């Protein structure tokens, strides 16, 4: 296998399927099945999930809320999603732990790097929730931070499109897909893949990023096995 330890970044919107908000159990089950396909190969898996299906901090602040309060609400939304994904994973036969950056011991462990790595060594999928625990940081940045901390071989960003394009392929039929692209080009071209902090952190720590369509069944397994899927950022 090409990658032995991965950090999978999933947007909160992925969990709502075709609904306008919330969590669709069948979609959570599908995502769990995709994760199981690589877990079953012995790959160490960390997951960061967003909260946009429930609440997005930036949108809240844009509507007049205090940005810090809105971001904390967004962090709590990621905990709800993490617990939903944990339930789906365990029903699929995957041993999991949820770790949160904001302590809430009744529902999850606090994030402790060495404990997270030990869980992964024991064959557990670790879901990192509540972002970095700080406002003004996205879950994309959380993903690259946790990937750096657990020494992941790659950050795999799951989206609804099959890679990175020079324009939004859902709005522009003439959008051109990149099979690979450099970190710096994403920043200079202003491509809306991940925020600049997340991209810079991966660049500084030499962690490649693969962007792919989560809803193309079997794609995650193909990436781990070294097949060219989606777009590689290096």
Mean pLDDT check: name the lowest of 32-36, 59-63, 155-159, 206-210.
Answer: 59-63
| Global pTM value | 0.95
Query: How many domains does one find in the chain?
Result: 1
| Nearest in space to 130 (alpha carbons), one of 105, 159, 103 | 103
| Nearest in space to 9 (alpha carbons), one of 182, 185, 198 | 198
What pLDDT does residue 198 have?
Answer: 97
Label residue 61 by pLDDT band (50, 70, 90): confident
Label residue 62 by pLDDT band (50, 70, 90): confident
Between CA 41 and CA 62 the distance in angstroms is 43
Q: What is the mean pLDDT of the chain?
A: 96
Label residue 58 by pLDDT band (50, 70, 90): confident
Q: C-alpha distances in angstroms, 148 versus 46, 208, 223? A: 11, 11, 19
Label residue 63 by pLDDT band (50, 70, 90): confident
What pLDDT does residue 32 have?
Answer: 98
- CATH of residue 97: 3.40.1160.10
Question: How confident is the model over 189-199, as a mean pLDDT?
Answer: 94
Contacts of 6 (CB under 8 A, 6+ apart): 38, 43, 44, 45, 46, 152, 153, 154, 155, 156, 224
Domain that holds residue 140: 5-233
Question: How confident is the model over 31-42, as a mean pLDDT?
Answer: 98
């Amino acid at each position: 296998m090409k990658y032995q330890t991965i950090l999978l970044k999933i947007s909160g919107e992925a969990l709502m399927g075709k609904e306008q908000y919330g969590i669709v159990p069948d979609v959570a089950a599908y995502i769990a099945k995709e994760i199981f396909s690589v877990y079953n190969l012995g790959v160490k898996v960390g997951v960061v999930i967003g909260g946009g299906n429930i609440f997005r901090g930036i949108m809240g602040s844009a509507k007049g809320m205090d940005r810090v309060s809105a971001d904390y609400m967004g962090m709590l939304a990621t905990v709800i999603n993490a617990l939903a994904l944990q339930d789906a994973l365990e029903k699929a036969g995957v041993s999991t732990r949820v770790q949160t950056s904001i302590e809430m011991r009744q529902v999850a462990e606090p994030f402790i790097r060495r404990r997270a790595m030990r869980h992964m060594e024991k064959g557990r999928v670790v879901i990192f929730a509540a972002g970095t625990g700080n406002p003004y940081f996205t879950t994309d940045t959380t993903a690259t931070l946790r990937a750096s901390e657990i020494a992941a071989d790659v950050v795999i960003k799951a989206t609804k499109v099959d890679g990175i394009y020079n324009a939004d392929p859902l709005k522009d039929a003439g959008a051109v897909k990149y099979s690979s692209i450099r970190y710096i080009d994403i920043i200079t071209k202003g491509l809306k893949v991940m925020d600049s902090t997340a991209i810079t952190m991966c660049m500084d720590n030499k962690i490649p990023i693969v962007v792919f369509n989560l809803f193309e069944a079997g794609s995650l397994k193909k990436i781990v096995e070294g097949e060219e899927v989606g777009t590689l950022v290096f």
